[in-house]
Amino acid sequence: MIRYLTRRALFSVPTLVGVSIAVFLLLRVIPGDPVTSQAGETLALSRQEIAALRADLGLDRPLYEQYLIWAGDFLRGDGGRSLSNRNPTLANLAVALPVTLQLALSTLVVALAVAIPFGVIAAVKQNSWFDYLIRGGVVLGLSIPDFWIGTMILVYFALFFSWTVPFGYTSIFVDPVRNIQQFGLPVLVIGIRLSASTLRFTRAGMLEVLGEDYIRTARAKGLKASTVVMRHALRNALIPIVTVVGLQVANLLGGTVVMETLFSLPGIGLLTISSVRLLDYTQVQTNVMVFAIFTVSINFIVDAAYAIIDPRIRLS
């Protein structure tokens, strides 16, 4: 198992290197640069002042040199300074991280609490009215865009109840009620799609396992129905469930961009969008690399979970 996980970890290195090069080059393809952006938003600058500012930001150096300097600093735990506010990029990220983490983890907990039990019941009661109801809800949840649901909810509460989501972010340890008001609707909106996709895989995996011979044997031996479903069927159906949950968790941080913008939550998604608008190269690069490291880590955890759930994978 250690050899299997080590091999998977080594495969992650070229992925991260490729992401760092790609984001670095793609940002330079965007028309303009931070200097012209700042000059346009403030007073007009002379050519000498623009040249001095470019030199101060390190933008006058060759691209490969800029990349090596930034990559070296990042490997040492220094993401550099934001080109827009000159604060350390990791400090800006640390301020936004709790918001995105709470949104993502809350959504995951709610989605799994709905998807797994309802998916298991729908599979056990296949072709019943409950199963048809669940399948219809899954199709609806996968079909409606998140941003549309969020917009309609905001408009509905504003028009009919004269209530809007409190602006900004309040820690749950400071004011739990206000925190729930800020996160309740975004968690509900994102959770609809996440629970729908997870429920679909849970039901499909359970149906496949429930038709296996060893399940019929377990029932023939007189085991309780709950024991057969939970200890035998669900555990063997976990691999597709773990796969979809792992992919969804990896996408949650990036997928919260729209909801953070829509509900004015100052998380990583909103910080990234603002940095792109300001052509803040270093902040965007740091954010994307943190996203990439998080995604690779989640995939590694999923691989480890595979090896624990199904020992046959360790030998492959």
Helices 63-75 and 2-29 cross at an angle (nearest 10°) of 140
pLDDT exceeds 80 at position 68 = yes
Residue in 76, 268, 256 with CA at minimum distance from that of residue 183: 256
* Domain 96-268 = CATH 3.40.190.10: no
Is pLDDT larger for residue 123 or for residue 252? 123
**pLDDT > 70 fraction of the chain, expressed in percent and rounded:** 89
3-state secondary structure of 81: strand
Do residues 83 and 95 make contact, with C-beta atoms less than 8 angstroms apart?
Answer: no
Q: How confident is the model at residue 15 (pLDDT cuts 50, 70, 90)?
A: confident
**pLDDT tens by residue, 282-303:** 888 888 888 888 888 887 777 7
d(CA 127, CA 114): 20
**Exposed, middle or buried, 110 (CB in 10 Å: 0-12/13-18/19+)?**
middle
So what's the pLDDT on residue 168?
Answer: 79
pLDDT exceeds 80 at position 155 = yes
**φ, ψ (nearest 5 deg) of residue 81:** -110, 145
Do residues 187 and 107 make contact, with C-beta atoms less than 8 angstroms apart?
Answer: yes
Residue in 101, 97, 55 with CA at minimum distance from that of residue 79: 97
Is pLDDT larger for residue 228 or for residue 102? 102
Residue type, 109: V
Radius of gyration of the chain (CA): 24
**Exposed, middle or buried, 243 (CB in 10 Å: 0-12/13-18/19+)?**
middle
User: Any idea where the domains of the chain sit in the sequence?
Assistant: 1-84+278-316, 96-268
Do residues 141 and 195 make contact, with C-beta atoms less than 8 angstroms apart?
Answer: yes
So what's the pLDDT on residue 308?
Answer: 67
Tell me the torsion sign for CA atoms 150, 152, 154, 157.
Answer: negative
Residue with token string 């905001």: 154
So what's the pLDDT on residue 310?
Answer: 61
So what's the pLDDT on residue 306?
Answer: 66
Give the chain's mean pLDDT: 81
So what's the pLDDT on residue 281?
Answer: 85
170: CB partners within 8 A, 6+ apart: 178, 179, 182
Residue 229 in tokens: 């479903």
Scored b (16 or more CB within 10 A) or e, 209-223 reads: bbeeeebeebeeeee
Residue with token string 């039990």: 117
pLDDT exceeds 60 at position 112 = yes
pLDDT exceeds 70 at position 255 = no
Helices 238-262 and 176-210 cross at an angle (nearest 10°) of 150
- Comparing 41-55, 141-155, 237-251, which segment has the lowest mean pLDDT? 41-55
Residue with token string 């301020």: 95
So what's the pLDDT on residue 34?
Answer: 73
Do residues 219 and 232 make contact, with C-beta atoms less than 8 angstroms apart?
Answer: no
d(CA 219, CA 166): 53
d(CA 258, CA 135): 27
> What single DSSP character describes residue 88?
B
pLDDT exceeds 60 at position 40 = no
So what's the pLDDT on residue 28?
Answer: 82
Residue 301 in tokens: 């955890």
**pLDDT tens by residue, 265-282:** 888 888 888 888 888 888
pLDDT exceeds 70 at position 38 = no
116: CB partners within 8 A, 6+ apart: 198, 199, 202, 241
So what's the pLDDT on residue 307?
Answer: 64
**pLDDT tens by residue, 162-216:** 888 887 788 888 888 888 888 888 888 888 888 888 888 888 888 888 877 778 7
Do residues 215 and 209 make contact, with C-beta atoms less than 8 angstroms apart?
Answer: yes
pLDDT exceeds 70 at position 133 = yes
Q: How confident is the model at residue 125 (pLDDT cuts 50, 70, 90)?
A: confident
Tell me the torsion sign for CA atoms 182, 184, 187, 190.
Answer: negative
